[in-house]
Structure 1
């Protein structure tokens, strides 16, 4: 009972002091992400409906990653040049027609092209949104502001796949049309609230410590941050298999149907929604940034480790729970590292590089993951993932000591 009271106290405390604009950014993220139900089912859609091989499905999924990398890079540059508001609005509305026409592309080549452009436009949103979070949040609430935004993202992600599983059971086309509708609603709300709204001035947003740390004009010349980002990319390769090889494993090996896959994926969002704010609030007071990154990485390794002996349903839920805790500890603190290394004038490039680190996983994760799964089996894939997690954890330890 005392533990429950302590948790509830931390949960309430975590929300205190967050600005209204921060909450509205989270609401926009929630609405937009509630419609993001295409990607978790895209691999299943291609292998079951379009009859693609695992290899070809992996290649199509990797084109999403290529578009994401380019979108993060361009989005960061455009954010520094034109501001976060214009870029977020453009991303939300320009992605709508691509969702609407996606069902008409059913060949390998056309799907590769359409997915590439969809992900490029969609990923413009991420660095601009991250810059907005740091702009509207109070300096002392940066990490919790990112956590709130991610909690909204994951609440939407828990709703999206759950509904998506039922929609896919009727027709996969409904997934694409629902995504388009939610992007439109999110765009309208964003324009209504944030047009001409002022946030914190750069002097208030950037702490003295951050000013002392930042010695470079661009994230792409910050060697220490580049090293940090490379280990983020290794971690993300493993984590983002939750969007490609894991659903394929659930469908083809664990023999789950679309509804069961959707509910299992929704469990990830529910765990993050319930635990993230309180856990981040606790972790940022008790542990260093370095410790949180290392512990979070190891939880991801444990998520794959438990799949080695069995894939009964309770083990699958345990695996998702472990990877959810990993996500809670890695994602907001990785963004905090990027904010701490930047100032207002170059924050777009830092957030863009942070986004690229994760976007690279959209290329490597499906491409390498499906290759290993098809040629050597899922068991060997889980072993390989554990090795990659060990490398990322050791990397975080050494590079963050120098940062």
Structure 2
């Protein structure tokens, strides 16, 4: 399962990369499975707000507060992951999330509830950049891709368990629901503190760059990377498109005269395909150039969702779900692995923090924009989904001048060395 010696990257196949993953990847993946299985608050907070006699519009404010907290939490987490370390950042996130989530059933005034949910949304996301950094520290591209695939597999299993378990707990008691969420977060924090260690690659990068770190290297340094800026714009657009599966799709299902159960079955189909096929799909595309895999994935996602407009029966809707699910599977793990190759070793956490913030922003603003557009004109909405999908695919590709330079140059390796590998060779990050 783990070893310090790996074959050269060119000879490393995906399933071999899985075999050579460090133990920390398996520990963090197991921890995230437990954490996601008990992460009930984001899913059930709207129902909780409505049953506690707050008006329906109040749930919008609560969701908005959670979304803002998610963006802020990723930004804070990226900073802490680089300065405090991966292990203690994740531990801090788990413990604070547990304590604050346990207080949700004890707060009744709406302003206090909004503030508390904002704080929970913030601290619950602090772990994400640190966990993502652990999956890329000192690993080559194939191993980063394998680590991302394993991590997502664990997340998806946890989410599936959490949906069922949360429904059962909510039927009994919302207090029990949130206390269970608190326990899961505390377990994640304790397990991280006891079992996880910061990888040697992170410690070496921090030791070698002490002089750089004392010069207040921060998000401004990361944002100066043009490739990162392009990647973040792509991420925001892609997430805003993908989240329409929870906005445009259910609205279309209702307009087509189908029941809410039909929407549930379609989302269940998406989850089933991801659980069964994502790792094999990731393995199949692992030897392809990341930019092109990301572009095809985003294109399938956008066009697959836009095709919903022409599907009026469950059979055709199932086909469209399969198309955008394949796009999701091609995109998700490859995006995480590709970003890991962009970051200089001493600011990996900040790169991951900005990535997480872009995801949270897309997930937060996407439903608002999508809902307004669909209400104004459903046909225009689906056209814009297709256009945004094409745009996100185009953003994945290298700029035209760079592609021309590459085509005119002597053929090189399909993947440039990562900043971590350059550092090991005594090189510098361009």
TM-score range, shorter chain: 0.7 to 0.9
> Using the alignment, how far apart are the partners of 1:174 and 1:262 within structure 2?
25
Once the two structures are TM-superposed, the CA of residue 243 in structure 1 deviates from its matched residue by 5.5
**Residue in 1 that maps onto 2:360:** 359
Q: Given the alignment of the two structures, is residue 163 of structure 1 paired with residue 197 of structure 2, yes or no?
A: no
Residue 231 in structure 1 maps to residue 234 in structure 2: yes
User: What's the CA shift for 1:129?
Assistant: 0.5
2:187 is aligned with 1:191: no
Taking a change above 3 Å as real, the CA distance of residues 197 and 69 of structure 1, as seen in their structure-2 partners, is: closer
Aligned residue pair count: 378
SS at match of 1:218: helix
TM-score normalised by length of structure 1: 0.80
Which whole-Å CA distance do the structure 2 matches of 1:44 and 1:319 have between them?
29
Checking the alignment, whether the CA contact within 8 Å between 1:224 and 1:402 is kept in structure 2 is no
Higher RCO by CA contacts (8 Å cutoff, separation 6 or greater)? 1
For residues 169 and 250 of structure 2, the distance between their equivalents in structure 1, rounded to whole angstroms, comes to 16
Matching residue of 1:343: 344
Give the distance between the partners of 2:249 and 2:41, measured in 1 at CA. 15
Contact in 2 for aligned 1:62/1:364 (Cα 8 Å): no
The 5 A counterparts of 1:106-255 are: 109-135=111-137, 137=139, 140-194=142-196, 196=197, 198-200=199-201, 218-242=221-245, 254-255=258-259
**Distance 1:14-1:395 versus aligned 2 partners, 3 A rule:** same
Structure in which a larger fraction of residues adopt helix: 1
In 1: Cα distance, 2:380 partner to 2:112 partner: 32
Whether the 8 Å contact between 2:232 and 2:354 is mirrored in structure 1 is: yes
Q: Structure 1: where are the runs of 5+ without partners?
A: 1-9, 205-215
Partner SS, residue 308 of structure 2: coil
The root-mean-square deviation of aligned C-alpha atoms, in Å, is 3.5
Distance of 2:397 and 2:141 partners within structure 1: 26
Deviations 1:70-114 (A, max 9, x none): 111111111111111111001111111332233455666444323
Residue of structure 2 aligned with 1:24, choices 1, 5, 27: 27
Number of the residue aligned with 1:75: 77
1:323-381 deviations in whole A, cap 9, x for unaligned? 432222222222222221112211111111111111111331232233334x3366654
Aligned in 2, Cα 1:387/1:184: closer, same or farther, shift over 3 Å? same
For 1:164-209, what per-residue CA distance to the aligned partner results, in whole angstroms no more than 9, with x for missing partners? 3444455555443332222122223222211x564446779xxxxx
Unaligned stretches of 5+ in structure 2? Answer: 1-12, 206-218, 404-430
Runs of 4+ in 1 over 6 A off after TM superposition: 201-204, 247-253, 260-263
Of 31, 39, 42, which aligns to 1:39? 42
Q: 1:225 to 1:60 in 2, by over 3 A?
A: same
Matches of 1:389 and 1:281 in 2, distance apart? Answer: 24
Separation in 1 of the partners of 2:67 and 2:107? 18
Could you say what secondary structure the match of 1:308 adopts?
helix
Question: CA deviation digits over 1:245-295, x for unaligned, max 9?
Answer: 6567778974326xx86665454443223222221121021x211111111
Question: 1:217/1:203 Cα in 2 relative to 1: closer, same or farther (>3 Å)?
Answer: farther
| 3-state SS of 2:20 partner | coil
Residue 394 of structure 1: aligned partner: 394
- Distance change in 2, residues 1:201/1:394 (3 Å): closer
Q: What TM-score does the superposition give when structure 2 sets the normalisation length?
A: 0.75
2:327 maps to 326
Mapped to 1, the partners of 2:244 and 2:157 lie a distance apart of 19
